[in-house]
């Protein structure tokens, strides 16, 4: 596999929390791509390709990352009999609600972005909606990711036994194997690399 100088090595499934943090970095990066495209308002070949990649990423990896947290990490943490977990329950509920809000915004961005790619142009009104949805998402994700990385993930790393973390990693691997993504997409290529 070619390695680019400066690339961070892919986290592996035995370290699920690191893997989730890598997902956060990709979410942040692709949100900045969407912001840049919305501000540009026109698609040349490079921005069109960047929009295609960002839409593919969020269509596949966004819901799967939420599932990693809601169906694997949060339940494992909730099962811990610990006062700190009891205090974090409300936060985990709020994080799950934010996932649902973010998914609605992703659907709108996807709809507008796909239409933009198909037509090669976007109306002023749709561009305004696109930009508003992207900025709202950034406003949701910034504190959301901070709460996960500063409160929930450290608690999980502290309390969950190694076998539970490995089990979470296996669930994450199975999710990706079940849905590797559109053939040729950057997501599916990355997945093949990290599972090889
Ligand atoms: Fe989350
Ligand atoms: Fe997250």
pLDDT in tens, 122-163: 999 999 999 999 999 999 999 999 999 999 999 999 999 999
> Is 193 inside a domain boundary?
no
Q: How far is the CA of 153 from the centre of ligand 1 (A)?
A: 11
What is the distance between the alpha carbons of residues 43 and 49, in angstroms, rounded to a whole number?
9
> Is 8 inside a domain boundary?
no
pLDDT at residue number 168: 97
- Measured CA to CA in angstroms, residue 175 lies from 28, 46, 61, 160, 163 at distances of 22, 31, 10, 21, 19
pLDDT at residue number 1: 33
Q: How many domains does the chain have?
A: 1
Instruction: Report whether pLDDT(13) > 50.
Output: yes
Share of the chain above pLDDT 70, in %: 86
> Is 136 inside a domain boundary?
yes
Average predicted confidence (pLDDT) for the chain: 90
Residue length of the chain:
196
Ligand that comes closest to the CA of residue 92: 1
Q: How far is the CA of 70 from the centre of ligand 2 (A)?
A: 9
> Is 69 inside a domain boundary?
yes
> Is 4 inside a domain boundary?
no
**Domain of 26: which CATH number?**
1.20.120.520
Give the tens place of pLDDT for each residue, 102-126. 999 999 999 999 999 999 999 999 9
Dihedral, CA of residue 115, residue 118, residue 119 and residue 120, to nearest 10: 110
Q: How far is the CA of 65 from the centre of ligand 1 (A)?
A: 7
Per the structure, the complete domain to which residue 151 belongs is given by: 16-180
């Amino acid at each position: 596999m070619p390695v680019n100088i400066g690339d961070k090595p892919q986290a592996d499934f035995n370290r699920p929390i690191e893997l989730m943090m890598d997902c956060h970095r990709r979410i942040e990066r692709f949100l900045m791509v969407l912001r840049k495209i919305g501000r540009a308002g026109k698609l040349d070949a490079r921005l069109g390709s960047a929009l295609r990649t960002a839409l593919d990423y969020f269509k596949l990896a966004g819901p799967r990352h939420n599932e990693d947290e809601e169906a694997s990490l949060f339940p494992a943490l909730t099962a811990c009999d610990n006062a700190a977990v009891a205090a974090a329950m409300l936060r985990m509920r709020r994080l799950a609600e934010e996932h649902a809000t973010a998914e609605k915004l992703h659907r709108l961005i996807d709809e507008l972005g796909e239409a933009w790619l198909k037509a090669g142009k976007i109306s002023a009104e749709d561009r305004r909606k696109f930009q508003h949805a992207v900025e709202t998402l950034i406003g949701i994700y910034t504190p959301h990711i901070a709460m996960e990385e500063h409160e929930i993930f450290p608690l999980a790393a502290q309390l969950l036994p190694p076998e539970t973390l490995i089990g979470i990693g296996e669930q994450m691997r199975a999710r990706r194997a079940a849905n590797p993504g559109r053939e040729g997409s950057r997501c599916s290529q990355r997945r093949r690399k990290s599972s090889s």
